């Protein structure tokens, strides 16, 4: 019944005369819808709570943690989880909990930067090639095909190996392998609307091509792309962690989830599980959060297509 009050998500049968409060600004309507989605779907609410936790760890982490994540302690090596060390200590006596929390910032920076880069370039390229078509479309399409012709993680490995083993290059490599998704998505979303009635009408109203693309088509293509961004964030985190797991990018002793799991893996066969499990769980939780968020975002931006 809530949705009905919004006048947004009604089945066709009763859509004839929706009831909408008079003169409501777009922003307040949108906020109300966000609140409605959050309260009606506990899973989305959970995702937002988790996101808040991860973001605060990333921003405030170094100030919050009980130990210096780089401080070694010879007397405290390989201690299992306890009250003093919630997640135990590693082979050098460093506090695993502190390291896991502090690592959130680096992992988020890598994935946010990579996704931002590929979103900006990918959606611009995709939108232009989808709208204008022609040689520009062919060129962009060929570029994407070439990137997609590689298994993506393998291409990222090759790029980092060639550009040099640094964190910046991890970001570029992750951005490049993500690029085709945004290009194709933006291209498809723009292409289906290119000859829609409302675009033709905008042409008749005297809008130029660029104006139509920027003001009429792109805002309508944005919602499905937002969902993609969120799902992609999870994937970007996984990729970056995978690269550092095999020893690319981040170097010890910098705390980062992938490399911590890799170091912990050496001790798992002898039963020291906490070294690998806690950073692994943190990684999983972060990816899970962004995936849940993707579904939640879809509900907010695209109420008609809920599953």
Partner 1 sequence: MTALPLLHVSDLTVEFQTRNGTVTAVSSVDLTVAKGETVGIVGESGSGKSVTSYAVMRILDRAGRIADGTVTFSGIELHNADDEVMREIRGREISMIFQNPRAALNPIRRVGEQIEDVLRQHAQATSRNAREKAIDLLRLVRINDPEARYLAFPFELSGGMCQRIIIAIALACRPRLLIADEPTTGLDVTTQKAVMDLVVELTRAREMSTVLITHDLGLAAQYCDRIVVMEKGRVVETAPARRIFRAPEHPYTQRLMSATPRPGITLRDLLPNRPEAAAPPPKWQRSPDATEKPILSVVDLVKEYPRAGAKARGAESAGAFRAVDGISFDILPGESVGLVGESGCGKSTTSAMVMRLLDPTSGTIRFEDRDIGAIPAKNFARDPARSRLQMVFQDSTDSLNPRFTAFRAIADPLYRIGGVTREAQARAQVERLADQVVLPHDLLDRFPHQLSGGQKARVGIARAIALEPALLVLDEPTAALDVSVQAIVLNLLADLKAELGMSYLFVSHDLNVVRLLCDRVIVMQAGRIVEQASAEEIMTSPRDAYTRELLAAVPRPPV
Partner 2 sequence: MASATKLRILGQRSLQALPALVGIIIVTFVLTRALPGDPAVYFAGPAADARSIAEIRKQLGLDRTLIEQFGIYLRQLAQGDLGQSISTGQPVIKELVNRLPASIELTLVALLLSALVAIPLGILAATRPDTWVDHLCRFVTTAGVSLPTFFTGILLVYVFYYLLGWAPAPMGRLNVMYLSPPHVTGFFTIDALLAGDLETLRATLAQLILPATTLGLFTLAPLARMTRGSMLQVLGSDFVRTARAAGLSGRKVLFTYAFRNALLPVITTLGMVFSFTLGANVLVEKVFAWPGIGSYAIEALVVSDYAAVQGFVLAMAILFVALNLVIDVAYTLVDPRVGIEG
Distance of closest approach, residue 59 Cβ to partner 1, in angstroms: 33
Q: Which residues bind partner 1 (CB under 8 A)?
A: 1, 3-4, 7-18, 20, 22-24, 196-198, 200-209, 216, 219-220, 304
Concatenated DSSP letters of 43-86: HHHHHHHHHHHHHHHHHHHHHH-SS-TT---GGGTTPPS-SSST
What the block records as the tokens of 210 is 């660029």
Residue 165 vs 207, nearer CB to partner 1: 207
Q: List beta partners, residue 95.
A: 89
Burial (CB count within 10 angstroms: exposed 0-12, middle 13-18, buried 19+), residue 240: buried
Instruction: Output the CA–CA distances (angstroms, integers) from residue 117 to 224, 226, 245, in the order listed.
Output: 18, 14, 23
Q: Which residues bind partner 2 (CB under 8 A)?
A: 142, 145-146, 148-159, 161-164, 234-235, 238, 241-242, 245-248, 258, 261-262, 264-265, 268-271, 273, 276-277, 280, 283-284, 287-288, 291-292, 295
Distance of closest approach, residue 113 Cβ to partner 2, in angstroms: 20
Residue 167 vs 292, nearer CB to partner 2: 292
Residue 217 vs 276, nearer CB to partner 2: 276
Residue 156 vs 225, nearer CB to partner 2: 156
Distance of closest approach, residue 63 Cβ to partner 2, in angstroms: 27
Q: What is the dihedral of CA 44, 48, 53, 59, to 10 degrees?
A: 150
């Amino acid at each position: 019944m809530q949705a009905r009050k919004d006048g947004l998500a009604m089945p066709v049968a009763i859509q004839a005369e929706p009831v909408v409060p008079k003169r409501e600004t777009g922003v307040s309507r949108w906020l109300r819808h966000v609140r409605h989605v959050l309260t009606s779907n506990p899973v989305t609410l959970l995702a937002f709570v988790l996101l808040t936790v991860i973001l605060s760890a990333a921003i405030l982490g170094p100030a919050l943690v009980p130990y210096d994540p780089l401080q070694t302690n010879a007397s405290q090596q390989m201690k299992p989880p306890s009250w003093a060390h919630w997640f135990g200590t590693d082979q050098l006596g460093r506090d695993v909990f502190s390291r896991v929390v502090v690592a959130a910032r680096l992992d988020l920076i890598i994935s946010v930067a990579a996704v931002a880069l590929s979103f900006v370039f990918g959606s611009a390229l995709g939108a232009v090639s989808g709208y204008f078509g022609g040689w520009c479309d062919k060129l962009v399409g060929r570029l994407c095909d070439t990137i997609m012709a590689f298994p993506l993680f393998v291409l990222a490995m090759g790029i980092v190996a060639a550009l040099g083993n640094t964190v910046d290059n991890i970001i570029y490599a992750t951005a490049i392998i993500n690029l085709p998704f945004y290009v194709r998505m933006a291209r498809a979303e723009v292409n289906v609307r290119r000859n829609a009635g409302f675009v033709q009408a905008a042409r008749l109203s005297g809008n130029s091509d660029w104006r139509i693309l920027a003001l009429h088509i792109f805002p309508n293509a944005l919602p499905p792309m937002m969902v993609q961004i969120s799902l992609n964030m999870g994937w970007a985190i996984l990729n970056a962690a995978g690269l550092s797991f095999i020893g690319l990018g981040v170097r010890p002793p910098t705390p980062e989830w992938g490399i911590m799991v890799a170091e912990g893996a050496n001790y798992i066969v002898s039963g020291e599980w906490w070294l690998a499990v806690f950073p692994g769980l943190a990684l999983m939780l972060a990816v899970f959060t962004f995936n849940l968020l993707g579904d939640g975002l879809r509900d907010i931006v695209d109420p008609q297509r809920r599953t």
